[in-house]
Amino acid sequence: MKNRYPILIVVIFIYLFAMVGGLLPKEKAAEAYRLTIPLGLDEFSPQIPKDNPLTNEKVELGRLLFFDKRISIDERVSCASCHNPKLAFTDSQPVSSGFQGQKGKRNTPTIINRLFSSGQFWDGRADSLEEQVKAPLINPVEMANPSHEGVVGRLKKIPGYPPLFKTAFGTEAVTMDHIAKAIASFERTVVSGNSPFDRFETGGDKKALSESAWRGLKVFRGKGQCHLCHTGFNLTDELYHNLGAGWAESEKDRDLGRYAVTRKEEDKGKFKTPTLREIEKTGPYMHDGSLRTLEEVIDFYDRGGNKNPNLDFEMRPLKLTPQEKRDLLEFLRSLSGAGWQKIMPPARFPE
Ligand code: HEC
Ligand code: HEC
């Protein structure tokens, strides 16, 4: 009888340990985000930095920050004010307007499929989505914060935010680095694929394209030479070209594009080849929003772009027939797909 006690004590100890272990709050490990890559996109191409792996917690925090107007100086402009999900993450204006309605100089590009590119902005001046985020926050005509510290300070004061940074990054510290990593993670989930073009090209469904769109694809890859620059699964070579769009007569009004980054003479007036996915929904077009419709874009290419000393050698009159133009337009429309429509603004923001 006597020698039973030690066993009993051990059992009680084990029981107590298990109870305390269960009751004490555990550090919740961040969960890897399962990126769904729609048909037609290359699942091996996402540009995700090693120090910012995708997790559910970061993506969700990034979504809150992307839609939260409190990150601008007057608490009236969010990223989504210009990158509006209802307009395929653009704003339907020739050039964007931000803080107090001030106009910027460039057209708002979509954030769809940005996870496949490193160079961000029309001139590629940011090398990653993380770096890109930092610019609009302190741009005087966009979110107009005097400094990044100002943004950090405001978010810190919202009691609901630090705990979300804790679940995403393991520390309550609200820092610019964490803000950028969270927003960039969210942006990487905004994708478009599985368009009629993808079902035709990758899925092998020969009926996915209308007769006209199919003829348009042949113009795109043939007489129109569009594929020379709009190439690969995301329809961009990720390079910079001069088409002469918005080339101003007077030098001081000229947007020199890529030149601002490289200071190379030959880069004057070059801009990044954008993706053509969802193109039907993202007008007006070109870096300066100077072309209102896709018909205008096709006419622009048909006349060989705008003459200027740096015009790309591929740019020459195409002599497309009216039928070829209509077919090309039908093809461009077949690049509207799915993925990004699932993304909704948050129902509630941290208080
Ligand atoms: C006032 C309107 C406005 C606001 C607010 C704004 N953007 Fe933009 N965004 C633009 C414009 C205009 C450009 C292109 C600027 C350039 O190329 O010089 C751009 C470019 C981008 C790009 C690069 C896309 C590409 O194809 O290269 C990304 C990504 C982006 N914005 C994300 C964001 C995020 C994240 C926020 C919030 C922190 C934000 N934007 C806030 C207007 C805005
Ligand atoms: C020499 C390379 C090149 C060729 C060839 C080319 N593009 Fe482009 N495309 C670009 C670049 C660069 C831009 C952005 C130019 C700018 O903003 O100034 C662009 C912009 C566009 C846009 C507007 C995108 C937006 O988001 O505003 C459309 C639409 C377009 N191209 C369709 C076509 C079609 C159709 C063809 C064939 C008829 C074609 N492109 C041929 C490089 C090219």
Tens digits of residue pLDDT in 108-133: 999 999 999 999 999 999 999 999 99
Report whether pLDDT(301) > 90.
yes
Residue 19 has a pLDDT of 55
Report whether pLDDT(17) > 80.
no
Least confident of 18-32, 53-67, 176-190: 18-32
Residue 14 has a pLDDT of 59
Which ligand number lies closest to the CA of residue 236? 2
Q: Give the chain's length.
A: 351
Instruction: Report which ligand 1 atom has the smallest distance to the Cα of 272.
Output: 27
Report whether pLDDT(253) > 90.
no
Report whether pLDDT(13) > 70.
no
The single residue of 142, 187, 278, 330 carrying the catalytic annotation is 142
Q: Please name the residues in contact with 228: beta carbons below 8 A apart, sequence gap of 6 or more.
A: 237, 314
User: What percentage of the chain has pLDDT greater than the value 70?
Assistant: 92
For a substitution probing ligand 1, which of 81, 99, 121, 282 has the most ligand atoms within 8 Å of its CB?
121
Instruction: Tell me the C-alpha to C-alpha distance, in Å, between residue 349 and each of 67, 69, 163.
Output: 9, 10, 13
Report whether pLDDT(300) > 50.
yes
Question: Is the CB–ligand 1 distance for residue 256 below 6 Å?
Answer: no
Least Cα distance to 70 among 135, 133, 157 occurs for 157
Instruction: For residue range 262-271, list pLDDT tens digits in order.
Output: 999 999 999 9
* Top-confidence residue, 3 or 157: 157
User: 39 CA to middle of ligand 1, Å?
Assistant: 27
Instruction: Tell me the C-alpha to C-alpha distance, in Å, between residue 305 and each of 61, 131, 249, 290, 351.
Output: 43, 32, 15, 12, 51
Report whether pLDDT(204) > 70.
yes
Mean pLDDT of 19-38: 71
For the chain, the average pLDDT equals 93
For a substitution probing ligand 1, which of 74, 79, 179, 258 has the most ligand atoms within 8 Å of its CB?
79
Report whether pLDDT(333) > 90.
yes
Q: Is 142 a catalytic residue?
A: yes
Residue 246 has a pLDDT of 87
* Contact in structure between 35 and 123 (CB atoms under 8 Å): no
Q: Please name the residues in contact with 182: beta carbons below 8 A apart, sequence gap of 6 or more.
A: 58, 59, 61, 62, 65, 165, 168
C-alpha angle 246/247/251, rounded to 5°?
130
* Contact in structure between 183 and 62 (CB atoms under 8 Å): yes
Question: Is the CB–ligand 1 distance for residue 98 below 6 Å?
Answer: yes
What is the Cα–Cα distance from 209 to 197, expressed in whole angstroms? 7
Protein fold of 56-191: Cytochrome Bc1 Complex; Chain D, domain 2 (1.10.760)
Mean pLDDT of 59-69: 98
What is the Cα–Cα distance from 245 to 336, expressed in whole angstroms? 24
* Contact in structure between 70 and 62 (CB atoms under 8 Å): no
Instruction: For residue range 217-244, list pLDDT tens digits in order.
Output: 999 999 999 999 999 999 999 999 999 9
* Contact in structure between 58 and 49 (CB atoms under 8 Å): no
Please name the amino acid found at residue 14. Answer: I
Residue intervals in the chain for CATH 1.10.760.10: 56-191, 193-338
The correct answer on CATH 1.10.760.10 for the domain covering 193-338 is: yes
Report whether pLDDT(25) > 50.
no
Which bin fits 78, alpha (ψ -120 to 50), beta or left (φ > 0)?
beta
Mean pLDDT of 288-305: 97
Beta-carbon count within 10 A of 259 CB: 20
- pTM of the predicted model as reported, rounded to 2 decimal places: 0.92
C-alpha angle 347/173/50, rounded to 5°?
85
